């Protein structure tokens, strides 16, 4: 019996290793195929007015008596009929979402959503961006910000709502909005630039390991992980950081000239209330509050560009979930055997 249990455990471990290897191979295949499938996707559009209306009607149906509810529905129908008869068209509000990681990966979706909006939006309409990002790579967030600049250049009003965080590259995007609304405890600011890397040169030297860095161009490599860093290289690296910081500051000032840039471009962060005092934002208000308010006199459309996943990507996700289940079951059984 003990032999069978040991053999079953061996088979389970072998199967786990094989599945893990399979997941890695599938992930590699998915990454290789991503470039071929890039751009394959579709735009999903949801009318948020219907969502808010269903919430209100559900509550009214539970709270109001039948006669009062009937009167209200008749009044709403008359108002809608009158509006259509008068030919009054509601303005459109296009709602976009950006949930940023360190590489600003959501930019690929944002660029398609902005292109779709600009194909029909007019200066009488509005774009609302619900932004959440703690920042990341300079060039990645520079591209993301450029997508929002397209909206401003088209003359379409842009409002940015920050419910949790818009710091560093996130604020680089937020500052483009003609209006910036923030939740009271959202984090904003961090207008600065940071770079850090380890250096193991002394460790390698201690073990008599040589590492050579060959470059063509005096400043092709300023600081390295394995080679010996020089004071001249550090100075050049710092100079590059200062240059990037200056460009960042100039970009923010271009869209928010009311800021005292030298006071706020220190890399510090502020919560909503303090950010309002520093004029980093224009009003303390959550995105829910703003959109619910707009739903009363405008048509709200939420846009989401959904990328089409390739077969290896879909298979890889399924395999990853299967591995998670196997490992979880194995861990639970192991704990049960320990405490029995």
Residues carrying an active site annotation:
168, 220
- Contact indicator for 248, 172 with CB cutoff of 8 Å: yes
Structure tokens at 19: 């599945």
Compute how many other C-beta atoms are within 10 angstroms of the C-beta atom of residue 265.
20
The C-alpha atoms of residue 26 and residue 322 are separated, in whole angstroms, by 13
Which of 307, 305, 306, 290 lies closest to 93, judged by CA?
290
Environment class of 147 (CB within 10 Å of its CB; exposed 0-12, middle 13-18, buried 19+): buried
Given the structure tokens 């992930």, which residue do they identify? 27
Note the maximum CA span of the chain.
Answer: 90
- C-alpha 280/C-alpha 174 separation (Å) is 9
Q: In angstroms, how far is CA 60 from the centroid of its own chain?
A: 35
Q: Helix, strand, or coil here: 208?
A: coil
Could you give phi then psi for residue 37, rounded to 5 degrees? -95, -5
Tally: H helices and E strands in the chain = 12, 9
How are beta strands 298-307 and 179-182 bridged, if at all?
A: unpaired
The token pair at 286 is 């959550």
């Amino acid at each position: 019996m003990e032999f069978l249990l040991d053999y079953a455990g061996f088979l389970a471990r072998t199967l786990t290793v094989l599945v893990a290897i399979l997941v890695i191979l599938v992930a590699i295949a998915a990454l290789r195929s991503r470039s071929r499938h890039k751009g394959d996707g579709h735009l999903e559009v949801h009318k948020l007015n219907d969502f808010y209306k269903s919430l209100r009607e559900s509550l009214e149906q539970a709270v109001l008596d039948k006669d009062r509810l009937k009167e209200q529905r008749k009044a709403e129908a008359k108002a809608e009929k009158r509006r259509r008869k008068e030919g009054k068209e509601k303005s459109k509000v296009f709602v976009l979402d950006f949930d940023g990681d360190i590489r600003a990966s959501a930019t690929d979706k944002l660029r398609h959503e902005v292109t779709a909006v600009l194909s029909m939006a007019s200066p009488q309409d509005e774009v609302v961006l619900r932004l959440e990002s703690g920042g990341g790579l300079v060039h990645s967030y520079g591209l993301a910000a450029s997508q929002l600049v397209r909206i401003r250049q088209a003359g379409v009003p842009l409002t940015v709502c920050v419910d949790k965080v818009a710091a560093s590259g996130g604020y680089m995007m937020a500052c483009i909005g003609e209006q910036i609304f923030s939740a009271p405890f959202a984090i904003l600011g961090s207008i600065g630039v940071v770079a850090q890397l380890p250096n193991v040169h002394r460790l390698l030297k201690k073990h008599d390991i040589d590492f050579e860095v060959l470059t063509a161009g005096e400043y092709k490599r300023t600081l390295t992980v394995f080679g010996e860093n020089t004071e001249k290289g550090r100075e050049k690296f710092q100079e590059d950081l200062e240059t990037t910081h200056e460009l960042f500051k100039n970009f923010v000032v271009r869209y928010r000239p009311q800021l005292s840039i030298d006071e706020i471009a220190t890399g510090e962060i502020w919560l909503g209330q303090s950010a309002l005092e520093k004029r980093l934002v224009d009003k303390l208000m959550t995105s829910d509050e703003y959109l619910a308010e707009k739903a009363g006199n405008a048509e709200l459309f939420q846009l989401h560009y959904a990328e089409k996943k390739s077969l290896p990507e879909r298979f890889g996700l399924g395999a990853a979930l299967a591995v998670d289940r196997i490992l979880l079951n194995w861990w639970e059984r192991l704990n049960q055997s320990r405490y029995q």
